[in-house]
Structure 1
Amino acid sequence: MKQNIGNLLALYPTPAVIIGATVDGKPSWTLVAHIGIVAHDRLLVSLHASHYINEGIKESGRLSVNIVTEEFLPQADYCGIVSGNKMDKSGVFSLATGDGGTPMVGESPLTMECRVEDVYECNGFENFVCSVCHTYADDSVLGVDGKPDYARLRPVLFEMPTYRYLRTGDVIGHCTDAGRKYKENLAE
């Protein structure tokens, strides 16, 4: 039997990402797990309004979304516990730059360079609705079809309310296969 556990937001885990933007002429980074898809070409990045990086994002209208992998999780986690207001985080990662001039994490095997389309404020958070301008991927994380292969990429996931990082799991099937099999069994 299910029990009511309150109004807990239970959509975790989500991918851990480093958001990159230029602030006061230098790259800055912050770790985020409040990210989501709002359309096939739009995503949402939710940052508390007090974050240092927000001003740079609003000023330039651009940000990068860098998928975190285990190889650079310690640096990513550091960017989540240290404020850009107090520490210069510009040298934490090797710098790559997108075609639109947006700072990107060189260590990240998959990065999306985004343009901010709208900012929605809610409960002390600034929610940046972004269009994806360019996606950059290392060859090592691309499948034979030239698209990201998440079994190769193995992004780190963040889970709340326990504040833990998780590894991505194994492939368990192809989208629609299980539904088609279920549908066939209904027809029998």
Structure 2
Amino acid sequence: MKKNIGSKLALYPTPLVVVGAMVNGKPNWTLVGHLGIIGHDQVMVSMSDAHYSNQGIRDTKALSINIVDEVMLQKADYAGCVSGTKEDKSELFAYHIADDGAPMIDASPVSMACTVEDVYKTEGFESFICKIAATYADESVLDSSGRLDYNILKPVLFEMPTYQYLKTGEVLGKCMSMGKEEN
């Protein structure tokens, strides 16, 4: 029998990302572990409403989602330790500006330029509903068909209850084929 542990969020781990936004004419970087897929071309990025980056996202209607790998983990963690209200984080990462105006981290193996379509507010949080305008990937993390290869990419995962970073693991099987073996 399962034990009721309360109304705990049990959908972790999630991919760890650094969100980039222009705030007062400068890039700002925020570590984010709350995001979700809401369609094939739409995502939701949920951030504490106290984050400095939120102001820029609301003003410009643009943000970037930069997947964190082990190589950039220490700088990404730092982006989450320091507020943009207290320290200028604009030079923390080498970057370029996407067509939509969002700063994109050059060291991130995969970055998505997003335009904000809506903002959903809950107590203490702003969730930005975004359309993916473009996805940029290092060729080193693509397979021979040009698709992302997560066996190579190996994004860092964030696990909320223990505040730990995890490595992605091994492949367990092929989706939509394992169940067919049951019959």
Whether TM exceeds 0.5 here: the answer is: yes
Q: How big is each residue's C-alpha offset from its partner over 1:74-132, in whole Å with a ceiling of 9 and x where there is no partner?
A: 00000011000000000110012212221011110100000000000001100000000
User: What letter corresponds to residue 75 of structure 1 in structure 2?
Assistant: K
CA distance in 2, matches of 1:72, 1:96: 16
Q: Does 1:101 align with 2:101?
A: yes
Question: 2:173 is matched with which residue?
Answer: 173
Runs of 4+ in 1 over 2 A off after TM superposition: none
Q: CA deviation at 1:175?
A: 0.7
Q: Does 1:139 align with 2:111?
A: no
Question: 2:69 is matched with which residue?
Answer: 69
Where structure 2 has 5 or more consecutive residues not aligned to the other structure, the ranges are none
Which residues in structure 2 correspond to 1:32-71 (within 5 Å)?
32-71=32-71
Question: Which deviates more from structure 2 when the two are superposed, residues 81-90 or residues 95-104?
Answer: 95-104
CA distance in 2, matches of 1:52, 1:102: 15
**Normalised TM-score (structure 2):** 0.98
RMSD of aligned Cα (Å)? 0.7
**SS state of the match for residue 126, structure 1?**
strand
User: What letter corresponds to residue 57 of structure 1 in structure 2?
Assistant: I
Identical-pair percentage: 55
Where structure 1 has 5 or more consecutive residues not aligned to the other structure, the ranges are none
Structure (1 or 2) with the larger CA radius of gyration: 1
Aligned residues: 183
Question: 1:127 is matched with which residue?
Answer: 127
